[in-house]
Structure 1
């Protein structure tokens, strides 16, 4: 063999060493080495490989786990290196949102909002209804972080609400992401049941088509959402709302139970404080608020509230107070079994405090109400409120009714209360004209037929005028 062959072999070796992995290089060296003489065969001893080749092999075998750094397009991980450093799956920590809710229980809305936006970035959005939850957008702006806003356009909102949407977009320099109901579903509902079927068979079906299903589509593109729920909005359904929770009703981007987180930054804030904040920051508000609207929804299902009424009483006013959720926050409604106590709550739940607690009022039992209703010649006229302790609208008029009772003390008019919830509800519906809570009845001196107070003005002056006109 020519004497130049070893030099040529050495040059090829160097070229291969810097362009291939060490194992491949070693294999080529073995193949190109002069064949051993017959009878002198022995296993290849890797110790004869040059020091440069050994050093190169060690350097290449230290491989970091996948995703530890950007992967080079020309990198080839050798099998030996893969065995030495197998792929390590990234450990995903699961957040304990119940514990986080406890940690943030006393935090400010601004701090809670900042935490939410920082944690979820572009995968979270504010649900904006066009009412006082514009405060959420203001808090988001104050964090200095980017944020998204979406809203449900049911097709039945007040003109003032649409105008307000436009004002908010211009004021904050944002674009609200509108979600619309499915046109075919709306068409089927209206054609089969008419435009106002919810007045007759409840609002749940209409809300499901116009609000719940569009919301479900919106949330499927998110991992978290931000709402304006407050505990004082509805003591019957929202009294236990935490500042953050795993959404009990909807699914998020990843799908399945627990895939969506719900943030309620103003859960612990009173309505009056929200309005003080809006005025202090000169935030634009819906013009309907100046007309007596507090909680604002669709035009046919929303109206202004009157003195002595709770803010949610302007929503679905023809229904029982416990039904005043549209389905967007249906997780607030507790599932009740058939074993209820006198307050209409399942046994084992927290006790609800009674209402109208004053010595100027007479607490009537079922027997007392039956006797009162049978009397045709009473010594004194009676004014009686039929109530449920959990009812937020009864709670809203408590101050007015107690004050009225104190004013009528010694006047010859007895003032009483009757808990018409639970087992007494059917009796009250059948015998006492109960339609919804609260119901106020006046029993004249010389008539067995009670007179129902039909006005929704439950301030002291309005109630006193009703009594004075009949006694």
Structure 2
């Protein structure tokens, strides 16, 4: 790399070629850890002074780039260390603080080394809070290449409204090409979304965070009862690494962790900020187009994400640290049942029949039943099963004495493989109707789980 020396005493460096009146033979090669300039008596040690070194024949480095500065200079720099701090204690101190106060604290502590992760959903509230602090802030987003058109238009609207440039991170083209060529465009419907999310979201995020010391997310405790109920307002990131490149080098801020989703929307309306037009179409939690759909009244907001999978799959990997190791087997339904036993059973009513494994097998084998049955295949830890408990119990009470039996079968743990193979279990809850004169059960396909919808399903088949 060549440099221009404007003054031997100041050792100012710009990026082109050496310019000196003496012969080129006087020029010494830079040593590791220092640059020995054309003036033999002027040595600048990089361990003492930061140098603005620009690579030759490279595009000008953006000041707001997410990539670490070390990626675009010719010699090592000494990073400024973040002061050692007990972030668990800080989280306790800020637990009752407002989102605006938490945001202000985060921006004050980390300055240009922190950025807001913006997904194109209601976490536009984070940008609004950042603006209200009056401090400079940065925003980045992951463009997976499979977002809704409405989300892309929303990105543009947000940039114009706040006068900012969102720093987009893209997946590696070679990795995407290999995945699509080997498995097709929609492999996640068959083998789960984790691989696709890893290529399109997790790895780009990892690259982005390598240039930061902290990041700000829109996680809330009420977003996903199974994985986010214990999210603190600030924490040392348990998964990703920051600029220093070691575990514990990245701090994660969640300013709205304790805020209810309804209050977020009240804030957005009060501040008259732009919102994604998909929200008016029933979308609450917004991700990639093939993996996101609107939710119906009574459904949890995360139920619109990866709806073909179990509840444990409602994280894409960006917040993998939310998944507790001791509960992962339980959430997957493949554990030994010990962890799941800690959850109280649901659908508890005298109007409901509790089916054992032998009972459901006998019911499934009968070709001529004396009466029809409706059965919910459930797991007590599943928040979506919990959400429909009231309506299903009410259905059982309505059908009492009608000639239709209402039952439940716990299909997680050791029974999950059977439920998937024989009871059409794709995700919890799965509702089946066993007619009087048909061996094969009929699966309830609708996501509407209110009493009237369930009753209409029964009346159409009994």
Fold-level similarity (TM above 0.5):
yes
1:280 pairs with 2:281: no
CA–CA distance in 1 between the matches of 2:146 and 2:438?
A: 46
Task: Provide the C-alpha distance between the structure 2 equivalents of 1:210 and 1:321, rounded to a whole number of angstroms.
Answer: 21
Match of 1:304 in 2: 294
Q: Which residue number corresponds to residue 39 of structure 2?
A: none
User: Which residue of structure 1 aligns with residue 149 of structure 2?
Assistant: 159
Bigger shift: residues 179-188 or 150-159: 179-188
Q: Is the 8 A contact 1:221 1:253 kept in 2?
A: yes
CA 1:382 to 1:298, structure 2 compared with 1: closer, same or farther past 3 Å? same
- Of the candidates 76, 95, 100, which is equivalent to residue 90 of structure 2? 100
2:178 maps to 188
- Do the aligned partners of 1:381 and 1:444 also contact (CA within 8 Å) in 2? yes
Name the counterpart of 1:129.
Answer: 119
C-alpha separation in 2, matches of 1:315 and 1:410: 38
Encode CA deviations 1:392-439: one digit per residue, 9 max, x unaligned: 322333333233233333433232222211112122223322222111
Cα deviation, residue 111, structure 1: 2.3
2-side partners of 1:341 and 1:269: how far apart? 25
Given the superposition, is the C-alpha separation of residues 466 and 283 from structure 1 closer, same or farther in structure 2, using an over 3 Å criterion?
same
Q: Is the 8 A contact 1:305 1:313 kept in 2?
A: yes
Deviates more, 1:427-436 or 1:134-143: 427-436
DSSP-derived class of the 2:159 partner: helix
Q: Does 1:441 align with 2:446?
A: no
Matched, 1:214 2:204: yes
1:398 to 374, 378, 389: 389
Mapped to 1, the partners of 2:372 and 2:180 lie a distance apart of: 48
**2:373, 2:435 within 8 Å by CA — same for their partners in 1?**
yes
1:448 CA displacement: 4.2
Deviation at 1:142, TM superposition (A): 2.2
Distance 1:423 1:192, change over 3 A: closer
Match of 2:107?
A: 117
Q: Report the CA distance shift for 1:342/1:185 in structure 2 as closer, same or farther (over 3 A).
A: closer
SS of 1:415's partner is strand
8 Å CA contact 2:347–2:389 kept in 1: the answer is yes
Q: State the alpha-carbon separation in 1 of the partners of residues 421 and 81 from structure 2.
A: 62
Query: SS where residue 231 of structure 1 aligns?
Result: coil
Q: Do structure 1's residue 386 and structure 2's residue 343 form an aligned pair?
A: no
1:92 deviation in Å?
7.6
Paired positions, count: 383
Report what 1:248 is aligned to.
Answer: 238
CA distance in structure 2 between the partners assigned to 1:460 and 1:146 by the alignment: 51
Pick aligned residue for 1:198 from 188, 194, 200: 188
3-state DSSP class of the match of 2:432? strand
Decide whether the 8 Å contact of 2:432 with 2:441 is kept in 1: yes
The alpha-carbon deviation at position 379 of structure 1 amounts to 4.4
Q: Which residue of 2 aligns with 1:148?
A: 138
**Other structure's SS at 1:442 match:** strand
Superposed, 1:62-81 pairs within 5 Å as none
- CA distance in structure 1 between the aligned counterparts of 2:288 and 2:365, rounded to whole angstroms: 43
Question: What is the rounded CA distance, in whole Å, between the counterparts of 2:193 and 2:204 in structure 1?
Answer: 16
**What pairs with 1:30-41 in structure 2 (closer than 5 Å)?**
none
Measured in 2, the distance between the counterparts of 1:144 and 1:352 equals: 46
The 10-residue stretch of structure 1 (179-188 or 121-130) with the greater mean CA deviation from structure 2 = 179-188
Per the alignment, residue 418 of structure 1 pairs with: 409
Q: Distance in 2 between matches of 1:315 and 1:198?
A: 12
TM-score normalised per structure 2: 0.76
Q: Extract unaligned runs of 5+ from structure 1.
A: 1-69, 71-89
**Cα offset, 1:336, TM superposition:** 4.4
8 Å Cα contact 2:113-2:214 kept in structure 1: yes
Distance 1:376 1:198, change over 3 A: closer
Aligned residue runs from structure 1 range 9-24, under 5 A = none
- Tell me which of 380, 399, 413 is aligned to 1:408: 399
Q: CA deviation at 1:261?
A: 0.8
CA positional deviation for 1:274: 1.6
2:69 aligned partner: none
Residue of structure 2 aligned with 1:331, choices 312, 317, 321: 321
Q: Which of 436, 447, 450 is matched with 1:456 structurally? A: 447
Cα distance, 1:457–1:378 mapped onto 2, change above 3 Å = same
Aligned mates of 2:122, 2:331 — CA distance in 1: 36
Offset at residue 202 of structure 1 (A)? 2.2
CA distance in 1, matches of 2:356, 2:154: 50
Look up the SS of the partner of 1:418 in the other structure.
strand
In 1, the alpha carbon distance for the partners of 2:333 and 2:208 equals 38
Q: Which runs of 5+ in 2 are unaligned?
A: 1-48, 50-79
